[in-house]
């Protein structure tokens, strides 16, 4: 196996959680992972979003005719919001052993790294999401059944920038692919898991497809954003995350975390 770059191996900051993993795992890991996303991704995302909104410059317009034809569907904000359920999913569904914990670490590190790179696109190649104008004005101003969700909450918190590639797509797809990877391994060990896995995979992928559709039907993203998000996620999976998961199973991965010791 090729040596994994140091920046992809579990970072030293994980060592505190690692040393107390047996006592804190059920409660701490999902909280820590969501905390990482909020602190290390949410804060810079918001700052970039507000800054680009104040500048108001678009590098290009990615809109195509399909963007105009896709209807606005107000209730699709519900699957759109499910992204925030994906964040703790990697910690909750990771195998309950040291290999699974290392795999969980490299999953979240990969999400952080690729998201930070995408932030550079948001800064240097910004695009304004002008298709929000297709949303009825009453909804945008906070009126009606869904007005509060769009006009008061979503649009105030998330200005029409930070468009491509879609982080909604990249982050959720990397998590789904990793969970699917874990379930495939579990099936090899437990053949009786087959029927449960089939149902779970169907539900998981159906949920992800619904989330993917929601980025378009809520007018939060262009088709271009969706397409480039999928491409970035698949490249990241193939070249970065999948090799990192394999490393986490190896003796090198085991030695890496053994050096942190136990409580």
Helix (H, G, I), strand (E, B) or coil at 9: coil
CA angle 242, 243, 248 (to 5 degrees): 95
pLDDT > 70: percent of the chain: 97
25 in any annotated domain: no
* pLDDT recorded at residue 164: 98
Query: Where residue 27 falls among pLDDT bands split at 50, 70, 90?
Result: low
- Identify the domain containing residue 44 by its residue range: 30-52+63-251
* pLDDT recorded at residue 33: 78
CA distance 235 to 232: 5
* pLDDT recorded at residue 68: 96
58 in any annotated domain: no
Characterize 128-140 residue by residue with b for buried, 16 or more Cβ atoms within 10 angstroms of its Cβ, and e for exposed. Answer: bbebbeebeeebb
Contacts of residue 159, Cβ cutoff 8 Å, sequence gap at least 6: 49, 50, 52, 53
Q: Rounded to 5 degrees, what are φ and ψ at 259?
A: -65, -20
What mean pLDDT comes out for the span 41-57?
97
13 in any annotated domain: no
Count CB-CB contacts under 10 A for residue 165.
Answer: 23
* pLDDT recorded at residue 263: 62
Residue 49 has pLDDT above 80, yes or no: yes
Higher pLDDT, 2 or 213: 213
Question: What's the total number of domains in the chain?
Answer: 1
73 in any annotated domain: yes
Lowest mean pLDDT among 51-55, 108-112, 176-180, 192-196: 192-196
261 in any annotated domain: no
Residue 30 has pLDDT above 80, yes or no: no
Q: Answer whether 101's CB lies under 8 Å from 241's CB.
A: no
75 in any annotated domain: yes
15 in any annotated domain: no
pLDDT tens digits for range 149-166: 999 899 999 999 999 999
143 in any annotated domain: yes
Residue 226 has pLDDT above 70, yes or no: yes
């Amino acid at each position: 196996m090729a040596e994994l770059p140091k920046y992809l191996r579990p970072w030293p900051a994980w060592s505190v959680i690692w040393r107390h993993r047996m006592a804190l795992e059920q409660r701490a890991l999902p909280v820590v992972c969501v905390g990482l996303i909020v602190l290390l991704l949410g804060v810079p995302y918001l700052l970039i979003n507000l800054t680009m909104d104040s500048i108001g410059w678009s590098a290009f317009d990615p809109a195509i005719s399909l963007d105009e034809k896709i209807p606005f569907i107000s209730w699709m904000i519900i699957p759109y919001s499910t992204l925030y359920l994906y964040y703790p999913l990697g910690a909750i569904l990771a195998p309950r052993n040291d290999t699974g914990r290392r795999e969980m670490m490299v999953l979240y590190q990969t999400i952080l790294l690729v998201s930070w790179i995408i932030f550079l696109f948001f800064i240097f190649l910004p695009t304004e999401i002008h298709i929000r104008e297709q949303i009825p004005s009453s909804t945008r101003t906070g009126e009606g059944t869904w007005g509060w969700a769009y006009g008061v909450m979503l649009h105030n918190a998330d200005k029409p920038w930070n468009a491509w590639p879609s982080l909604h797509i990249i982050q959720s797809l990397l998590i789904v692919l990793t969970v699917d990877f874990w379930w495939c391994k579990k099936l090899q060990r437990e053949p009786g898991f087959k029927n449960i896995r089939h149902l779970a995979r169907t539900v998981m992928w159906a949920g992800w497809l619904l989330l993917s559709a929601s980025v378009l039907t809520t007018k939060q993203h262009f088709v271009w954003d969706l397409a480039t998000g999928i491409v970035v996620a698949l490249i990241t999976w193939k070249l970065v995350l999948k090799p990192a998961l394999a490393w986490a199973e190896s003796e090198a991965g085991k030695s890496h975390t053994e050096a942190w010791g136990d409580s």
